[in-house]
């Protein structure tokens, strides 16, 4: 009798590491194409919308924003806010965000308008959030889209920013927000070239711009009974601005002590 032959067993061969690595690389490449550029595309879309809106802003009469414009139109602005508060607030938020992102002049006048039309607390919240969102858009644009161009144009200032961040960390950005020794238009893109996380940039910007925004919005609440700009500069507001300017130097020793203890 012929002995029974064992059944054939299909054995799986160990995967070829070279082939497996190539397949993984191809998969990662496809995933990167599908998702990796999504934030950049979204940012490009937002900046395109901002550029179109900026052109419309420049071609309209809004480009001449100043306190005289605001004083002349305060009645109609307050009426518009009373009739359509949600639309007015959304429009003011978007306009402020746009002007903050593109560093256009007139943000201080919009902060006064927020106080005049919305009151101190709602106006302050709107101004702080809109200015911080606009700053973060500029920060992200420099980091992901215009890194080389920003470095070529303002790279000589980057060493100062990196030294400040190495010395004081996030408090350095807070200091620049409260007392902008570097122009506002440069702070956001230069920070975008640094290693600071986006969430930290946004949260510190909110904290740093809170006091100044509150002061401007408070000044706006007094416009209803002001006849010109000089009536807004009351002693209380001037004292608040002086305290605001001295705030970073008052906090710095406590911050450095806390860093050493930690």
Q: What is the pLDDT of residues 206-240, one digit of tens each?
A: 999 998 899 889 888 988 776 655 666 667 667 76
pTM metric for this prediction: 0.71
> Is residue 61's pLDDT more than 80?
no
Tell me what pLDDT residue 137 has. Answer: 95
Mapping DSSP to helix (H, G, I), strand (E, B) and coil, where does residue 118 land?
helix
Most confident range (mean pLDDT) of 16-20, 169-173, 254-258 is: 169-173
Residue 53 pLDDT level (bands cut at 50, 70, 90): very low
3-state secondary structure of 5: coil
Using alpha carbons, select from 27, 49, 174 the residue that is nearest to residue 101: 49
Report which of residues 41 and 127 the model is more confident about.
127
Note the pLDDT of residue 21: 43
Best CA proximity match to 203, nearest among 167, 168, 170 = 170
* Residues with Cβ within 8 Å of residue 95, at least 6 apart in sequence: 57, 62, 110
Per-residue pLDDT at 252 = 66
Biggest alpha carbon–alpha carbon distance for the chain: 120
Q: Under 8 Å CB-to-CB from 88, ≥6 apart: which residues?
A: 80, 81, 117
Within 10 angstroms of residue 117's Cβ, the number of other Cβ atoms is: 25
| pLDDT band with cut points at 50, 70 and 90 for residue 43 | low
Indicate the domain borders of the chain: 66-261
Q: What is the mean pLDDT of residues 110-125?
A: 95
Q: How large is the average pLDDT for residues 87-110?
A: 93
Model confidence band, residue 184 (pLDDT cutoffs 50, 70, 90):
confident
Question: What is the phi/psi pair of residue 183, to 5°?
Answer: -55, 145
Backbone φ and ψ for 105, nearest 5 degrees, come out as: -70, 150
Give the end-to-end CA distance of the chain in Å, rounded to a whole number: 85
Q: So what's the pLDDT on residue 179?
A: 78
């Amino acid at each position: 009798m012929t002995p029974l032959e064992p059944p054939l067993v299909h054995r799986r061969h160990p995967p070829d590491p070279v082939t497996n690595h190539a397949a993984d690389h191809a998969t990662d490449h496809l995933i990167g194409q599908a998702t990796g550029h999504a934030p950049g595309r979204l940012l490009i879309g937002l900046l395109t919308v901002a550029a179109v809106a900026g052109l419309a802003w420049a071609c309209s009469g809004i480009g001449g924003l100043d306190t005289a414009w605001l004083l002349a139109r305060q009645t109609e602005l307050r009426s518009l806010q009373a009739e359509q508060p949600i639309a007015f607030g959304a429009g003011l938020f978007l306009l402020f965000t746009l002007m903050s992102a593109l560093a256009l002049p007139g943000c201080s006048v919009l902060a006064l308008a927020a106080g005049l039309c919305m009151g101190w607390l709602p106006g302050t919240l709107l101004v702080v959030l809109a200015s911080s969102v606009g700053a973060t858009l500029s920060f992200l644009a420099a980091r992901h889209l215009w890194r080389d161009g920003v470095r070529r144009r303002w790279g000589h200032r980057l060493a100062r920013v990196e030294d400040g961040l190495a010395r004081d960390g996030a408090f350095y950005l807070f200091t620049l927000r409260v007392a902008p020794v570097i122009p506002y238009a440069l702070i956001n893109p230069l920070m975008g070239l640094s290693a600071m996380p986006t969430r930290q940039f946004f949260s510190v910007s909110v904290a740093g711009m809170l006091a100044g925004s509150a002061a401007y919005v408070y000044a706006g609440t007094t416009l209803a009974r002001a006849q010109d700009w000089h009536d807004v500069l009351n002693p209380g507001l001037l004292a608040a601005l002086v305290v605001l300017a001295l705030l970073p130097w008052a906090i710095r020793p406590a911050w450095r002590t806390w860093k050493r203890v930690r």
